[in-house]
């Protein structure tokens, strides 16, 4: 980049538009097979259901849902969500649930009220790229907690909490982004025990909860340590990402400060969108639509895993997700995922090199993330054949 503009704040030094921008541009190329984004399948959206619900809301509630709303969210939706998360082991009143402009705005709000420049906070290594960008924007010192196939390693979390004054630990326990891994029940209990014993705080980001394709649902971390967890949920995967709806359940005083912070950012989530989501949950449409979404993604995941097992070059390994949207690939030492990306993009296949998911830029150069929800199965097979060649070429 050219010389920095003198008016820009220091935090912009950590903001790198080009990486993401380059990727987004690539996705607009006709014929591109994209395993890059974290997009739900467009054919999973219940368009006609949503069309009917929005029409109903506008007929019945009219101007009220076009007006400003309160920052905490549309009260009926907050009540519906409080009921909805009970099966996750979360017991809360409607007043304890707040609706945000996507879960991303809630990650921003939690970070804004907790992080001073130079403060330490912890993440799984690797973790969600856009969450890292939030923590960087608040100039946090990001400390890695190591993870394996069973998720974040509790002993390493304890080591990190011993070694650094950690403000909070950001975790995606279920179908993690980017690895697809799930924190085991045993480890959930252990992590919760650590949090409670130390009076420590975690942000549990849980956007994929509903997207389980095999195995039994696990209770949330929040259910084991309600006073120590800021819980984030999303309606992007089971309703519509374009509607920008997430929610958070945070212990006081964090909930109050997150909401106050949001009064000066998004003000409130879209009012009509919230009213439509309320009808979607309350009217049983979510429960009715979910099985076909899960079935669609289960097939795509199975196709991706089977194809990977057939075509991955020697020395490559994949994660084994029970749900979510991503599979994580690790290559042998010396494999260069960025080089493989260039090669794959030239043949119209996109993925994200794994380095982007580590706070430490020197890590993850031999890893990559693949999304399996967006692309139909024949395209998954076609794309993975090209990917396998690109991987082999970058050894």
58-77 binders of its own copies (CB under 8 A)? 58-59, 62-70
Residue 294: asked if its preceding bond is cis (omega within 30°), the reply is no
Query: Shortest gap between Cβ of 152 and its own copies (angstroms)?
Result: 20
Nearer residue to its own copies within complex by CB, 228 or 366: 228
Q: Which of residues 118-137 bind its own copies (CB under 8 A)?
A: 119, 130, 133-134, 137
Q: Give the nearer residue to its own copies in terms of CB position, either 53 or 392.
A: 53
Q: Compute how many other C-beta atoms are within 10 angstroms of the C-beta atom of residue 54.
A: 18
State the Cα–Cα distance between residues 248 and 339, nearest whole angstrom: 39
Query: For residues 153-172, which are near its own copies according to CB under 8 A?
Result: 167-168
CA neighbor of 248 nearest in space, from 206, 280, 197: 206
Q: For the window 1-30, what string marks contact with its own copies as x by the rule CB under 8 A?
A: ----x-xxxxxx--xxx--x---x------
CA distance between the termini of the chain: 29
C-beta closer to its own copies: residue 248 or 316: 248
**CA 230 – CA 365 distance, rounded (Å):** 31
- Which 25-64 positions form the footprint of its own copies (CB under 8 A)? 37, 39-40, 42-43, 45, 47, 50-51, 54-55, 58-59, 62-64
Sign, CA torsion 245/246/251/257: negative
**Residue given tokens 């960087």 in the structure block:** 136
Closest CB to its own copies among residues 34, 303 = 34
Output 233 or 270, the one with its CB closest to its own copies: 270
Q: Select the residue interacting with its own copies from 240, 307, 319, 371 (CB under 8 A).
A: 240
Among residue numbers 90 through 109, which ones bind its own copies (CB under 8 A)? 101-102, 104-105, 107-108
Is 269 a binder of its own copies (CB under 8 A)?
Answer: yes
How many residues bind its own copies (CB under 8 A)? The answer is: 79
CB of 309 to its own copies, least distance (A): 30
DSSP state of 270: -
What residues form DSSP beta bridges with 205? 232
H or E stretch at 72 = none
Closest to its own copies by CB, 167 or 187:
167
Site for its own copies in 288-347 (CB under 8 A): none
Dist CA 209 CA 127 (whole Å): 17
Report the SS3 class of residue 363: coil
Asked if 207 and 245 touch (Cβ cutoff 8 Å), the reply is: no
Among 267, 288, 292, 360, binds its own copies (CB under 8 A): 267
Considering only residues 148, 185, 197, 242, which one is a binding residue for its own copies as defined by CB under 8 A?
242
Residue 143 makes contact with its own copies by CB under 8 A: no
Q: How far is the CB of 256 from its own copies (least distance, A)?
A: 5
- CA atoms lying within 13 Å on the CB side of residue 264: 7
- Location of structure tokens 């998911």: 357
Kindly tell me which of 201 and 350 has the beta carbon lying closer to its own copies: 201
Give me the residue label for tokens 């909401």. Answer: 259
Query: DSSP 3-state helix, strand, coil percentages of the chain (rounded to 5)?
Result: 50, 15, 35
Return the residue of 60, 93, 117, 292 that touches its own copies, per CB under 8 A.
Answer: 117
Q: Cβ of residue 148: shortest distance to its own copies, in angstroms?
A: 28
- Angle, helix 254-263 to helix 102-114, in steps of 10 degrees: 110
- Closest approach of its own copies to the CB of residue 105, in Å: 6
């Amino acid at each position: 980049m050219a010389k920095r503009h003198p008016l820009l704040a220091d935090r912009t030094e950590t903001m790198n538009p080009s990486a993401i921008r380059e990727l987004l541009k690539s996705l607009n190329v006709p014929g591109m097979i994209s395993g890059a984004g974290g997009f739900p399948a467009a054919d999973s959206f219940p368009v006609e259901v949503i069309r009917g619900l929005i029409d109903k809301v506008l007929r019945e509630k009219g101007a009220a849902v076009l007006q400003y709303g309160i920052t905490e969210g549309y009260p009926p939706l907050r009540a519906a969500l409080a009921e909805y998360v009970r099966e996750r082991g979360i017991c809360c009143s409607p007043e304890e649930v707040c609706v945000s402009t996507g879960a991303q705005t809630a990650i921003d709000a939690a970070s804004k009220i907790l992080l001073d420049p130079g403060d330490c906070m912890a993440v799984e290594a690797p973790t969600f790229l856009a969450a890292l960008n939030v923590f960087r924007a608040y100039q946090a010192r990001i400390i890695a907690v190591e993870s394996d196939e069973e998720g974040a390693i509790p002993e390493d979390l304890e080591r990190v909490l011993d070694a650094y004054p950690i403000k909070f630990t950001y975790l995606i326990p279920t179908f993690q982004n980017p690895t697809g891994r799930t924190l085991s029940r045993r480890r959930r209990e252990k992590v919760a025990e650590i949090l409670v014993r130390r009076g420590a705080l975690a942000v549990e980001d849980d956007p994929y909860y509903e997207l389980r394709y095999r195995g039994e649902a696990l209770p949330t971390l929040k259910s084991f340590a309600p006073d120590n967890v800021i819980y984030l949920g999303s309606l992007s995967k089971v309703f519509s990402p374009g509607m920008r709806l997430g929610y958070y359940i945070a212990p006081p005083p964090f909930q109050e400060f997150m909401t106050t912070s949001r009064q000066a950012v998004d003000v409130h989530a879209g009012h009509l969108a919230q009213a439509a989501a309320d009808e979607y949950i309350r009217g049983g449409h979510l429960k009715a639509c979910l099985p076909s979404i899960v079935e669609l993604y289960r097939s795509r995941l199975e196709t991706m895993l089977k194809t990977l097992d057939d075509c991955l070059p020697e020395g490559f390994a994949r994660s084994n997700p029970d749900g979510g949207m991503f599979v994580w690939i690790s290559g042998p030492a010396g494999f260069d995922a960025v080089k493989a990306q260039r090669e794959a993009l030239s043949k119209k296949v996109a993925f994200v090199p794994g380095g982007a998911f580590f706070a430490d830029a020197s890590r993850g150069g031999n890893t990559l993330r693949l999304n399996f929800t967006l692309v139909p199965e024949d395209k998954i097979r076609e794309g993975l054949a090209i990917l396998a060649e690109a991987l082999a070429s970058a050894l």
